[in-house]
Amino acid sequence: MDIIRTQNHELISELNREVQHIHAQMYPNHFKEHDHIAVSDFFKSIMTNPNYQFYIVEEQGQEQGYIWMEIKEHQENPFRKSYKSLYIHQLNVIKAHRNQGLGKQLMNKAYEIAAQNQISKIEVDYWVNNEIAKNFYDKSGFITYREYRYKDL
């Protein structure tokens, strides 16, 4: 198994298909169904920014999942001190390859990238109905320190 950095926006778009489907099923008022061309174009546009990093997990020439990370520099303001974080936008292991430790390997890559960039905080969010993500991040030792809420009018 290899964890490989990629800028292949079409591949990331395809690997994103399951994530987008889950979001669209759980929250149809917020999320669109996956549109390969639109998603691929989006990923292509942000991959020029060095703060965005994409890694795939590959075994025997088959891509089995990915992680999309962003290095963020939070500026000091009157309320908060400055800090640097590694934000995980998405982590997905293709359904057929789950429960084999691949998500953990992708997280290990995130820890490695954080260490290389002298970052001591990794942040992630997920939609509250996504029990798979909640359980994964709980098992990985992540703690909740902020909650977002909404009210539809």
Q: What angle do CA 1, 143, 88 make, to 5 degrees?
A: 45
- Which tens digit of pLDDT belongs to each residue from 3-27? 999 999 999 999 999 999 999 999 9
Answer whether residue 149 shows pLDDT above 90.
no
Domains annotated on the chain, with CATH: 2-139 (3.40.630.30)
* Predicted structure pTM score: 0.93
- Which tens digit of pLDDT belongs to each residue from 101-146? 999 999 999 999 999 999 999 999 998 889 999 999 999 999 998 8
Which SS3 state, helix, strand or coil, does residue 44 take? helix
For residue 129, what are its two tokens? 């109905």
**Dihedral pair phi/psi, residue 134, rounded to 5°:** -55, -50
* In contact, 18 and 65? CB cutoff 8 Å: no
- Which tens digit of pLDDT belongs to each residue from 36-56? 999 999 999 999 999 999 999
For the residues of 81-147, what is the DSSP string, one character each?
--EEEEEEEEEEE-GGG-SSSHHHHHHHHHHHHHHHTT---EEE---TT-HHHHHHHHHTT------
